[in-house]
Amino acid sequence: MAGIVHKGFDSADETRQFEDGTGKLDLIDTDHGPVGRAVFEPGWQWSKHIKPIAGTDSCQAAHVGYMVSGRMKVVMDDGESVEIEPGDFLQIDPGHDAWVLGDEQCVVLDWQGYGNFAKPA
């Protein structure tokens, strides 16, 4: 790629729709791997809407990102949990479930874990 890369998520290189219209993932390809913007609608939960696609018991992606809007609960396989809110940085290891809290959609930017997210195994 060139010395400057300028792309917008509204014209992403790839878009993946989630089950039951519960959101989508827009991906931009970069020299450092894909960067994603996920929009999770109220009612979305990884174990309900992505697990059937991924074919794993919990999310096996590592995430490094930023919560733009909305609120989300993340629970690790060992029971550790956190609520993520707008303005929060997030780093989540593989082995977790997550779901939207409340009636507002969540928008999350992720620099690490969305390359294979919501992609059939």
Residue 58 in any domain: the answer is: yes
Distance CA 50, CA 46 (A): 5
Number of domains observed in the structure of the chain: 1
pLDDT over threshold 60, residue 12: yes
Q: What is the CATH number of the domain that holds 74?
A: 2.60.120.10
Residue 19 in any domain: the answer is: yes
Residue 49 in any domain: the answer is: yes
Distance CA 23, CA 39 (A): 5
Residue 116 in any domain: the answer is: no
pLDDT tens column, 78-110: 999 999 999 999 999 999 999 999 999 999 999
Question: Could you list the residue range(s) of the whole structural domain that residue 17 is in?
Answer: 13-110
- pLDDT (mean) for 9-38: 94
Residue 1 in any domain: the answer is: no
Cβ proximity of 110 and 35 under 8 Å: yes
Contacts of residue 103, defined as CB under 8 A and 6 or more positions apart, other chains included, come to 42
Strand residue runs (E) in the chain: 14-17, 23-28, 35-40, 63-69, 71-76, 81-84, 89-92, 96-101, 106-110
pLDDT tens column, 28-71: 999 889 999 999 999 999 999 999 988 999 999 999 999 999 99
Residue 68 in any domain: the answer is: yes
pLDDT over threshold 80, residue 7: yes
